[in-house]
Structure 1
């Protein structure tokens, strides 16, 4: 039945549920993509990754996501998450992706910040109640597993450990900023600014972990 016939036929009409679309239904890098479609695809991709091997109810989405990752790489998927709300599943994965990228790009510098944070007296306070924070290499490995769909641990714990990593690195940056304040004010200001941003990231990841436990992270 065509649309015109349906519109003129008597009686109530049946509204068909829109066909779910997977990430491959549009080009992530194509200009002018419908923001609503990009947002929905970002959520579908995030759900397929995190729930892969658990309770994914749409194996076709998972297969197409894996194909996209194989053909275009993780960057293509992460591109969809960049504009997602911070406290959402795709937003949380975007933050894990960003942490992974930093750990890959400059592992030595991140390790310096991490050690400086771990060596301070305040570290037990900033990560109180959290699982042991991972180092830079473990952070990368954990993010790799999550972002490839291979992670089989507790997702909320992984988010909390990632948040703890952020807090320790932020604390290290703040400590080094204090030391550099008189000798290099510009560098100290940059470290302080980055430290504040990492604390915000930690807060977002902690919120996501709690929402996941409550079944409210989407």
Structure 2
């Protein structure tokens, strides 16, 4: 069973949302382990086989190493090589598979580090009082930007060097809180929009009554109405985007929890 591929952007995207940040450069050569497993023009069956084999090999190699530099290279793979490298290997894997989960964990780290300021704010909105989510995710009630960056690193590091299921549960708890923060912000914007609409309607009625029997600048009234309509449209678009991203994050959190359950049962491959 799996939850579909609508959680994190399912192909070659740079994260959960478009942040406008430039894609990391791809200097030098890939780690040989990764380069050996890039699918290239292989058929779908070969792509799937390579995807699963590379994920298992990478995880096993890091779990059994004492080389701190190797661990660091694996954790910063996206930073050094660019997200397209990981996408080519794992982005098409199902979310209930090891490569599918690793793809989501790498994107989560990338997204958290690139948007640490807004995510710190969303955490404070979604988790105003510390709950079990704070304890599971390992995040303070009022995290700073640096706290978010450290959490991003520690979740991914935990997946490779600690208990993989615990790392996924941390990722799920964190993602849920941020998604809740997005929904709360969308709700606040919606309520503000309704209040402004009611105020505008009342103000327009008063103006109509005052202007009765007088000459009015029709073009100015029309311009004002057009401006309000344009602003309203922008706010509604923002609300829609916030809700869409929140929905994607909630699905991603389910993917992480399901992956943790499969891992504990020895069925995440």
| Common fold: TM-score over 0.5 | yes
Question: Partners in 1 of 2:169 and 2:103 — Cα distance?
Answer: 15
Relative to the length of structure 2, the TM-score reads 0.57
Match for residue 22 of structure 2? none
Q: 1:131 aligns with which of 118, 130, 136?
A: 136
Relative to the length of structure 1, the TM-score reads 0.70
Match for residue 7 of structure 1? none
Q: 2:107 aligns with which of 98, 107, 120?
A: 98
Q: Describe how 1:202-217 pairs up with structure 2 within 5 A.
A: 202-217=253-268
Q: Describe how 1:56-75 pairs up with structure 2 within 5 A.
A: 73=81, 75=83
**Runs of 5+ unmatched residues, structure 2:** 1-32, 140-146, 194-234
Q: Is the 8 A contact 1:114 1:172 kept in 2?
A: yes
Please report how far the alpha carbon of residue 24 of structure 1 lies from its aligned counterpart in structure 2 after TM superposition. Answer: 3.6
Match for residue 107 of structure 1? 116
Match for residue 192 of structure 1? 243
Q: Is the 8 A contact 2:37 2:54 kept in 1?
A: no
Q: Partner of 2:111: helix, strand, or coil?
A: helix
Match for residue 40 of structure 1? 49
**CA distance 1:152–1:26, shift in 2 (3 Å):** closer
Q: Partner of 1:200: helix, strand, or coil?
A: helix
Q: Is 1:152 aligned to residue 164 of structure 2?
A: no
Corresponding pairs, count: 178
RMSD across aligned C-alpha pairs, in angstroms? 3.0
Q: Partner of 1:215: helix, strand, or coil?
A: coil
**CA distance 1:91–1:153, shift in 2 (3 Å):** same
Question: Partners in 1 of 2:120 and 2:153 — Cα distance?
Answer: 15
Q: Is the 8 A contact 1:133 1:162 kept in 2?
A: no
Question: Partners in 2 of 1:104 and 1:185 — Cα distance?
Answer: 28
**CA distance 1:26–1:46, shift in 2 (3 Å):** closer
**Runs of 5+ unmatched residues, structure 1:** 1-21, 57-61
